[in-house]
Structure 1
Amino acid sequence: MTHKYTNLKIYLLMIMATFFWAGAFIAAKLGVYELSPTILTFLRMGIAAVIIFPIMVIKLGTNWKLKKNEIKIVLATSIVGMIGYHMFFFTALKYTTASNASMINATNPLITAVLASLFASERITPKKIAMLLLAFCGVVYIIIAGNINSLATLVLNKGDFIMLCGTFLWAVYGIIVKKAVPIMGPLKLTTYTFLFCALIMAPFAIFAFATTNAFSVGINPYIAVIYMAIFPTVIGYSIQQYAIAQIGPSKASLFINLVPIISTILAVIFLNEHIRSYHLIGATMIITAVIVYNHSGFLIKKDKSVQD
């Protein structure tokens, strides 16, 4: 009974985290209208670093200090995963919808899998290749808005392609993190990644503050970036790490597939975006491909126990 209650609590927490992550697409869309991607990236990572740094110091005790051999790891994760991804992410939302961006971003696990097969010698079966193709078709279908003729005329949304570039960088970041976590631990790695990102972006953000109207845009864009820093970044990350420790990465990752669905619903409510049939078809293809790809062994061999 206690075990079931614990699992239910974790599932509810993961659903809450999923809402936070989905809300990031809405908040980012609201923020990019008034603030530059440079300022948004600096503020999101800077606020998150200020919050999570003391937590790391308390939890890790004497092990919180950064070692010399860890600096290059953190530089890589901050430049690729935080600066690279977020600059593409915020720029993309200037040209595309929050729903499109979230659906394209849902292909991240599959892009990560392809990179892992190329650079980490992880095997991809023919069935998984089929799922990769299915997800690719789903992304293309969303990008062309369900109109095959747009491929011939090249009337495409550049924001979708920018988001795809960001998703690719996030996948590269995932490969780096997978190798770095055993060395540094997830909390220390994430904290210093946030911190280094903010420090690197600081001079560019100061320049952006000085050359734009960032001080006269009102409070709403700043509320949006504070939300992104606290809820999806710090709280969402903490919930995810707790869930992984309790129920394993495979079960925890299932909830991430809800993000494009929830973000699309939120985009309709708060941004007055419209859901078209091509959104539903493309999202179904992508989410199905991700679930089957990552859990095909579980789906096929139901009679065997699975270790997360």
Structure 2
Amino acid sequence: MNSSGLKLAYFCAVMNAMIMGFSFLFTKIALDFAGPMDTLTFRFAASFAAMSIPVLLGRVRLNYRGKKLYKVLLLAILYPLVFFTLQSYGLQHATSSEGGILFAFTPVLTMLLAFLFLKETTALLQKLSICLSVSGVLFIFIMKGGGIDWSNMTGIVLLFLSCLAVAGYNVLARRLLKSFSPAEITYVMLGIAFLSFLAMSLAGHTATGTLDQLFSPLASGTFIVSILYLGILSTLITALSSNYALSRIEASKMSVFSNLSTIVSIAAGALLLGEEVSIYHIIGSALIIAGVMGTNLLGKKSERRVSNRAKTG
């Protein structure tokens, strides 16, 4: 693997976390104007339309001939369909803090699934680094007064399953990227998500007799800006970049970068909403960064030792 491709993969992973860190803020803004299903419909409409333009112009070439497309369909079902659906319903029964705490365990789930299905192995120091990153997120949420209320079992189970869906996506995408390009996988994902959420949104409005209200949020410039951020940056760009990163980096290493979004969310809240940054935010952020660096850098060192032994042996 060439070093430039690997550097670009790590850049994509960090960029993903930064974009996702701001997405929570824009999601909150969008939900002031439209319900969760309508927001998802417009979000994926924007992302699918944005990618369709270069595809139709021939700037992005897709070739599905002779490839097992049903596997990409399964991938699209895991994420974004299952993930967003479970997350939306899960957050109706649980708090956003509980969602953040549970989502922090996604790298651990990814590591386990990657070991089971991809035979990816991680050194002890890498496992400890992943746990260190998770502990940083937990520390921030617990110090904020957040925790898990085990009486909300419905919400907790749904949120846990949503994290499992993301972990499954990371592992399956890693395998499929050997035969599909990142663009080919991304385009199918976005198309299926858009059509599915549109169907659910139309069904919901038809049932309640509010079909005329579907496009009313588009009268707000604030809503449009939020949707463009969520659809183009937080969906299309992150999907392309994460799929590219997964084609170069092991699933367990890639997934731990998601915890960096917690740091970006703190910074976004401080810069844009004037929220206070406390010492526990700084301590938790340091733990997250140390965990992410340890998972990737320590892995490189251990891999070099193995290759050096192989050469001298």
Paired position in structure 1 for 2:142 = 144
Unpaired stretches in structure 2, ≥5 consecutive residues: 309-313
Paired position in structure 2 for 1:232 = 234
How many Å separate the matches in 1 of 2:110 and 2:10?
A: 25
How many Å separate the matches in 1 of 2:7 and 2:73?
A: 38
How many Å separate the matches in 1 of 2:9 and 2:180?
A: 25
CA contact (8 A) 1:39 1:208 kept: no
CA contact (8 A) 1:41 1:87 kept: no
1:76 to 51, 74, 77: 74
How many Å separate the matches in 2 of 1:161 and 1:273?
A: 30
1:153-178: per-residue Cα shift (whole Å, max 9, x none)?
85889988865543332111111111
Paired position in structure 1 for 2:311 = none
Cα offset, 1:66, TM superposition: 6.2
For normalisation by structure 2, the TM-score amounts to 0.71
Cα offset, 1:234, TM superposition: 2.7
CA contact (8 A) 1:84 1:166 kept: yes
Equivalent residue letter for 1:188: E
Cα offset, 1:186, TM superposition: 1.3
Equivalent residue letter for 1:121: K
Cα offset, 1:141, TM superposition: 3.4
For normalisation by structure 1, the TM-score amounts to 0.72
Cα offset, 1:132, TM superposition: 3.9
CA contact (8 A) 2:108 2:131 kept: no
Equivalent residue letter for 2:71: I
Paired position in structure 1 for 2:21 = 22
CA contact (8 A) 2:136 2:288 kept: yes
How many Å separate the matches in 2 of 1:155 and 1:270?
A: 34
1:232-282: per-residue Cα shift (whole Å, max 9, x none)?
33344556677899xx648x9697664332222112333454444544444
Paired position in structure 2 for 1:207 = 203
Cα offset, 1:27, TM superposition: 0.9
How many Å separate the matches in 2 of 1:132 and 1:11?
A: 16
Q: Is residue 51 of structure 1 aligned with residue 57 of structure 2?
A: no
The aligned runs of 1:128-167 (5 Å cut-off) are 128-145=126-143, 165-167=161-163
Cα offset, 1:38, TM superposition: 1.9
Cα offset, 1:131, TM superposition: 3.0
1:29-57: per-residue Cα shift (whole Å, max 9, x none)?
22233322222222222221122134345
CA contact (8 A) 1:85 1:166 kept: yes
Cα offset, 1:302, TM superposition: 8.5
Q: Please, what is the CA RMSD of the aligned residues?
A: 4.4
CA contact (8 A) 1:15 1:255 kept: yes
Stretch deviating more after TM superposition (23-32 or 256-265) = 256-265
Stretch deviating more after TM superposition (157-166 or 80-89) = 157-166
Q: Is residue 198 of structure 1 aligned with residue 184 of structure 2?
A: no
Paired position in structure 2 for 1:267 = 269
Matched position secondary structure for 1:183? coil
Unpaired stretches in structure 1, ≥5 consecutive residues: none
Taking structure 1 as reference, are residues 267 and 87 closer, same or farther at Cα in structure 2, changes over 3 Å only? farther
Equivalent residue letter for 2:268: L
Paired position in structure 1 for 2:223 = 221
